[in-house]
Amino acid sequence: MILVVCNGCMKIRVEKNIDKDISNWQRSLSAKSYGVNWGRFLPEDISSAEVQDNNKLKEYLEKRFYSNGKVDKFVTWIKQHINASEIQEDLEGLMGKPFLQDKVTIIVTTFSRAPYSVEGSLFYIIFRDAVKKERTISGIYHELMHFLFHKHYWQQCEKADLSETEIHNLKESMTVLLNPILAKRGLPLDKGYDAHQKIRGELEKMWEDDEEKNFEKFLTKVLENHRSVKIQK
């Protein structure tokens, strides 16, 4: 289902796919990133052994999320609230670089972990029922900011001698710069991971004090000082 189609702007497609959701559940059980052990988000009403059994997990997800129409309603809600051209304008304005993808796929997942693939031009978005659905739109901004960072600024970080882990942590921390945009759009703010709160606060203060608000120059300053503005390893 194509959610947004417009001339000259990125197209965002949302995909309801229970098999990909199952795969994400299974991979997430043993996944660890940014100080989070994702297996701890396993609901109490299903065991890890049942998650690894495709048939049992599919039956569980069908009953809880899919056959009752909850995922379909969530997809409809996204369709009604997303504005691809606005998101593209905001992110390209912030980062000073264009999107290189003409289409991005969002896959709905009912687990609490939402990975992404720049190469695959896709990312997962966490299913939300009645509570804080607007965080979904903030999450789309967050993930698409990663796409621009990977495409345009990853090599700059490598040249500054950051390790892959440090670059990932910086990439995640830099999403704090979304908050003035999200506030302007009336959306929930980007909170980030607990492990990144110190550097997020430092980056936020640096950005507030920066008169140019030029992302590339700002990143250069951050990288020049990255041993004092400590990037979590």
157's tokens = 């970080």
Show Cβ contacts of residue 44 under 8 Å, excluding neighbours closer than 6 positions.
Answer: none
Predicted TM-score (pTM) of this structure: 0.92
pLDDT tens per residue across span 116-139: 999 999 999 999 987 789 999 999
Beta bridge partners of 33: 36
pLDDT tens per residue across span 71-119: 999 999 998 999 999 999 999 999 999 998 789 999 999 999 999 999 9
167's tokens = 């670059």
> Which pLDDT value is given to residue 116?
96
Show Cβ contacts of residue 195 under 8 Å, excluding neighbours closer than 6 positions.
Answer: 34, 35, 169, 232
> Which pLDDT value is given to residue 144?
97
Q: Tokens 């997990």 identify what position?
A: 57
Show Cβ contacts of residue 89 under 8 Å, excluding neighbours closer than 6 positions.
Answer: none
> Which pLDDT value is given to residue 41?
95
In sequence order, what E strands does the chain have? 2-4, 11-15, 32-33, 36-37, 103-109, 116-117, 122-126
Could you say which residues of the chain have pLDDT below 70? 1-8, 226-233
> Which pLDDT value is given to residue 4?
43
